[in-house]
Amino acid sequence: MKFAQFCQALSNRAGSSKTFLTAIVLIIVWALTGPYFHYNDTWQLIINTSTTIITFLMVFLIQNTQNRDNDILHLKIDELIRATQEAQNATLSLDKMGSRELRKLRKHYSALGDVEAIKVSD
């Protein structure tokens, strides 16, 4: 299994309601064992270490799946732009532009939108 597929499958499972409920149950079980262990340092260390490790790993998992989803979305939008005759194909390479160029282009499209809004309201 490829890493991307593994991350996607794990992300789907991690985001499910069953996983959330399992986490709540584990936290409740941990909390209920507090009196048995006299709320000692080891008891606290278990939850602190567990949540830190899980959070650390989830950051990378989420970033991987978000990057993949973002790439897929961009490809779909690029195909729509390419397939639409009236679209400006120059927008296909926006990811290569700098921030200043993107701001100029955004102003240009905002102005076009304002013109279209005026036409519709008349």
The pLDDT tens digits for 35-84 are 999 999 999 999 999 999 999 999 999 998 888 888 888 888 888 887 88
Regarding whether 63 and 18 lie in a shared domain, the answer is yes
Please check whether residues 82 and 108 belong to one and the same domain: no
Rounded Cα–Cα distance for residues 114 and 99 (Å) = 22
Q: What is the pTM of this model?
A: 0.62
* 70 and 95 together in one domain: no
Q: Is the pLDDT of residue 116 over 70?
A: no
Does 102 lie in the same domain as 82?
no
Number of structural domains found in the chain: 2
Residues 44 and 67 in one domain: yes
Residues 38, 75, single domain; the answer is yes
Residues 6+ apart with CB under 8 A from 74: 95
Same domain as 81, residue 101: no
> What share of the chain in percent tops pLDDT 90?
37
Which domain, by its residues, includes 104?
91-122
